Structure 1
Amino acid sequence: MVYCSSQLLSTSFPLLNPKTLKFDAKYSKNWLPLQSTEGLVKGLYQTRVLNLRAMQEDKASAVTSDGSELRVPHVLTVAGSDSGAGAGIQADLKTCAARGGVEVVPEDFVAEQLKSVLSDMRADVVKTGMLPSTGIVKILLHSLKEFPVRALVVDPVMVSTSGDVLAGPSILATFREELLPMADIVTPNLREASVLLGGVQLETVANMRSAAKSIHDMGPRNVLVKGGDLPASSDAVDIFFDGQDFYELRSSRVKTRNTHGTGCTLASCIAAELAKGHPMLSAVKVAKRYIETALDYSKDIVIGSGLQGPFDHLSKLKRNVHNAYVQRAFDSGDLFLYAVTDSGMNKKWGRSITDAVKAALEGGATIVQLREKDAETRDFLEAAKACLEICRSKGVPLLINDRVDVALACDADGVHVGQSDMPTNVVRSLLGPEKIIGVSCKTPQQAQQAWIDGADYIGSGGVYPTNTKANNRTIGIDGLKTVSLASKLPVVAIGGIGLSNAQSVMETGVPNLKGVAVVSALFDQECVLTETKKLHAVLMEAASRVK
């Protein structure tokens, strides 16, 4: 029997016959962690060389059950991929299979594979797709009981694009009775949810809510019913249910035929975010943003003439090729000393916006919001570009106040919007999944909505009276506590905060209160650098006491 292994740049070794061969996992010591796409080619090459060397030095890479050596012919093909499957790697695989034969992998071999991986790799999350038999499902469940993981993500692939049911009655029964009760989240689309519920038609958001509740009753901890095909909605609306609350997750519907694989991709993205330690709903929201961004990037690609085409999973990487700056993920610690600029104050003290930002950063500001209420758009954009260069040289995020257009034009790290500005979910759809979005909130309800709509943090206040905003209602320390306790996002306090009261604000005892945002305390002062250093010292003292 001949086995063909193929990858674009790497190598792999023969798939051994499970009836006569056993695996030696010691070669896994030669696997190299790849920390970035930049090192991909080098890493794969090093891995290939190390494994080939190990196999040459130790002839026991393939042995029979009685210990005798068995030579298994194997072919490595290094080639391109042909989406039509008539040439390239696809043709190589089919040709080698035709010349040597293909053996269906038995269930006991799947069990051995799972045991080998789960016992050695210590997987954090397991994600399932189409499971071909009841036996495979039971083997998976047994393996997960023996080797528990942090989360099980179940994508119940059981209905084809054409509407054909791929899972028979026995598989459905096993799903309902055994797999779903172990799942941390299950992600059915409308057709799959209908099949799980015995053929119930889902045509409205209300139907989706009811379906999510009914599927949750089968045992999974969380349910995401995907409404991408919902006929009555102009948006792409999904319903997330955690057993207590329903969350309606909406995004703009991308008009494209390139939707093949979106369900698998969404579930995989959820799994990846959970593996990084993110909470469930946050993982779902990131995955939804990722899908929307990738679909938008790929909407005009034409591959084949079928009803569906593939979309580009690597759009982010391709964008980064053309953009030397790669924005790091938002860290709630960035909110510690949040500097909000004011052009009027800077003019009063005879300094430029760039000088003010430089001084604030030197003094310890951890994030900067460019707030230029009276500037013309062209002037605002030029100031934003100049300040962005300064902030990035220090590794500090720069946000734009209100103006999404300016943020997009200069590629700022994000925006901060108020309750009367552009809706947060629209801002998210425009900026994409990576940018930072903050929202001003005075009430628990506003804080909850900001989280649902895709914000990364909220600014709560005014805590004290301030001259920077006319007719701004204050909420006081008690109001700040109330909003912070209700928020599932990190909070930065704002409004009338300075050297005299910053410590008392930070010592409120609310864990997700991460910092203070200040305007006058820094920029309506003779020396921005000195005042920033003083405030930073006060905040550090408060932080040490809270710990």
Structure 2
Amino acid sequence: MIEKNGDSIPHVLSVAGSDSGAGAGIQADLKACAARGVYCSTVITAVTAQNTLGVQGVHDVPEDFVAQQLKSVLSDMQVDVVKTGVLPSIRVVKVLLQSLAEFPVRAALVVDPVMVSTSGDVLAGSSILSSFREELFPMADIVTPNIKEASALLGGIHLETVADMCNAAKLLHALGPRKVLKVERLRVILQVIGEAWDVFQNVLVKGGDLPDSLDAVDIFFNGERFYELRLSRIKTRNTHGTGCTLASCIAAELAKGSPMLTSVKVAKRYVETALEYSKEILIGNGSQRPFDHSLRLKSGFHRKEVFNPSDLFLYAVTDSGMNKKWGRSMVDAVGAAIQGGATIVQLREKDAETQDFLETAKACLAVCRSYGVPLLINDRIDVALASDADGVHVGQSDMPASAARTLLGPEKIIGVSCKTIEQAQQAWISGADYIGSGGVYSTNTKANNPTIGLDGLKTVCLASKLPVVAIGGINASNAGSVMKMEVPNLKGVAVVSALFDRENVLTETKKLHDLLMEHHHRKSNEIHARQLSGK
């Protein structure tokens, strides 16, 4: 992995062709990985002249220069996942396999067997098919053909139904998952990752072109079980590069350490979200237009897509019982907390009927959006989806973060309550954005829960690859002690009673916010002074 200030950054290497229109190929891979928070390096195998009308020209990069690019990247950088796109010749396939034998990657090889562009232009000839089947596929951890590519790879069989796709996935898997995996490469991989290696190759047959289907149906097969993955089919011309993007997203999630099926589901939901958002964007005059990977080009789109860890600074967790005690509505309480300086709000409602909770969530969301403050829903993913809240916070006994990510998609915020190192590490693997660690101190809202104290909080923070907010019994008298700890990923404190079990939420929130800001400035000055002194 790439080292930056001591942190390991997930790294995908894309070996593919360049698209001058930037909708597919290397350009799509770069944008998709960036959107998923993963570094992407590139090896270009072909250069195309293309736009939304089609491919006007293809120039294959000489094999020796492909080899030189591979050596440059793999000899210097620790790559977690290699993702392939257009491999225009048998010799390029051999060059890639030789490079991977010399410089093994940490996690996986994702093969997207691109042979024809979205517009129907041939990018790799039929002569490459045998090389794919006999040499590349057996080394892959997952192959991701669409139905046209799957048909070509299997000798032209017709794929017109979901049952046909299942049969194709099984036949592709039977081509020999890892049968040619060299013993030495296996030894090196096991040594690097320190665990048993999954011997199953995985196959994802993409059904975007499946005739007469109202849904976008993909079939995932891991050698033991078929999974039928369905999402709504988005009606749009802006579909250029969806295959490249899906494969790159899978690679990105695998580079983060996510399981294979989770990676596939997250990638599929990401593509659906991007297509829905981009369906009316106008780029080019042709029928195969690109879509927006970053969800930022469309004017008037105000949702906050990228989670900012600094939002955890003053994390307000509501309590309906406390608000009733003081005779105020949840909406009024949320508005007062935000005006006082709350930087993120978690809506917690344990007793209300679902319909009432949903209406409250929508009303609170309107307030939060007007101030640009994220609103999360505690536990209830159904309410988060129905209200279009910015995300959810789940506990250890709730729906796993990986399942929540599959349902909510890549643009929503997911937080997980963690008390232990193991829970914190699992939250990162499962695709969470942050963790809430505690209870640091005892609390009236969860009186029977054991506390972890400041030492336990520090232990979890040091083990976590995610930003952390401290939770449990925190108030104006002890928040300073929490934030004094020298752990850079501790970003803030989550507070319940100290805000909402008070007569004036605005005053109490402002008081706590000012205290935290005073501590933040003092800490920044101390760090600056140490830097100047060279200590």
Confirm or deny a common fold (TM above 0.5). Answer: yes
Number of the residue aligned with 1:140: 69
Shift of 1:152: 9.7
Residue-by-residue CA offset, 1:273-331 (whole Å, 9 max, x unaligned) = 79xxx9855899888623344269989xxxxxxxxxx9997387899969843323001
Shift of 1:423: 2.0
Number of the residue aligned with 1:125: none
Among residues 132, 135, 145, which one is paired with 1:195 in the alignment?
A: 135
Number of the residue aligned with 2:244: 264
Secondary structure of the corresponding residue to residue 390 of structure 1: helix
Residue-by-residue CA offset, 1:177-223 (whole Å, 9 max, x unaligned) = 3366568776334997983597799979xx88996996576799999
Number of the residue aligned with 1:437: 414
| Correspondence list, 1:100-179, <5 A | 105=59, 110=61, 134-141=63-70, 154-157=82-85, 168=90, 171-178=92-99
Shift of 1:397: 0.3
* Root-mean-square deviation (Å): 5.2
Letter in 1 for 2:515: V
Letter in 1 for 2:66: V
Number of the residue aligned with 1:415: 392
Number of the residue aligned with 1:496: 473
Q: Given the superposition, is the C-alpha separation of residues 295 and 339 from structure 1 closer, same or farther in structure 2, using an over 3 Å criterion?
A: closer
Secondary structure of the corresponding residue to residue 254 of structure 1: strand
Judge conservation of contact 1:402–1:415 (CA < 8 Å) in 2.
yes
Hey, what's the Cα distance between the residues in 1 that align with 2:360 and 2:331? 8
Letter in 2 for 1:545: K
User: Larger deviation: 537-546 or 189-198?
Assistant: 189-198
Hey, what's the Cα distance between the residues in 2 that align with 1:209 and 1:348? 67
Shift of 1:425: 1.6
Shift of 1:340: 0.3
* Alignment TM-score, normalising by the size of structure 2: 0.60
Structure that is richer in strand per residue? 2
Secondary structure of the corresponding residue to residue 187 of structure 1: strand
Secondary structure of the corresponding residue to residue 155 of structure 1: strand
Q: Given the superposition, is the C-alpha separation of residues 142 and 482 from structure 1 closer, same or farther in structure 2, using an over 3 Å criterion?
A: closer
Shift of 1:542: 2.7
Judge conservation of contact 1:137–1:179 (CA < 8 Å) in 2.
no
Number of the residue aligned with 1:474: 451
* Alignment TM-score, normalising by the size of structure 1: 0.59
Shift of 1:375: 1.4
Letter in 1 for 2:507: T
Number of the residue aligned with 1:520: 497
| Correspondence list, 1:21-36, <5 A | none
Shift of 1:264: 3.1
Number of the residue aligned with 2:161: none
Does 2:229 match 1:254?
Answer: yes
Shift of 1:427: 1.1
Number of the residue aligned with 2:340: 363
Hey, what's the Cα distance between the residues in 2 that align with 1:368 and 1:212? 52
Shift of 1:369: 0.3
Shift of 1:494: 0.6
Number of the residue aligned with 2:30: none
Residue-by-residue CA offset, 1:226-271 (whole Å, 9 max, x unaligned) = 72449xxx99589xxxxxxxxxxx9975148999977632454589
Number of the residue aligned with 2:116: none
Residue-by-residue CA offset, 1:399-458 (whole Å, 9 max, x unaligned) = 001111111111000011111112222111110111001111111111122111111111
Number of the residue aligned with 1:404: 381
- Specify which structure has the bigger relative contact order, considering alpha-carbon pairs within 8 angstroms and separated by 6 or more residues: 2
Among residues 413, 426, 430, which one is paired with 1:453 in the alignment?
A: 430
| Correspondence list, 1:197-216, <5 A | none
Hey, what's the Cα distance between the residues in 1 that align with 2:405 and 2:232? 23
Hey, what's the Cα distance between the residues in 2 that align with 1:153 and 1:175? 13
Shift of 1:518: 0.3
Shift of 1:334: 0.8
* Stretches of structure 1 lacking an aligned partner (at least 5 in a row): 1-5, 11-75, 82-88, 94-101, 111-132, 160-165, 239-249, 300-309
Number of the residue aligned with 2:210: none
| Correspondence list, 1:234-245, <5 A | none
Hey, what's the Cα distance between the residues in 2 that align with 1:199 and 1:142? 19
Residue-by-residue CA offset, 1:9-36 (whole Å, 9 max, x unaligned) = 99xxxxxxxxxxxxxxxxxxxxxxxxxx
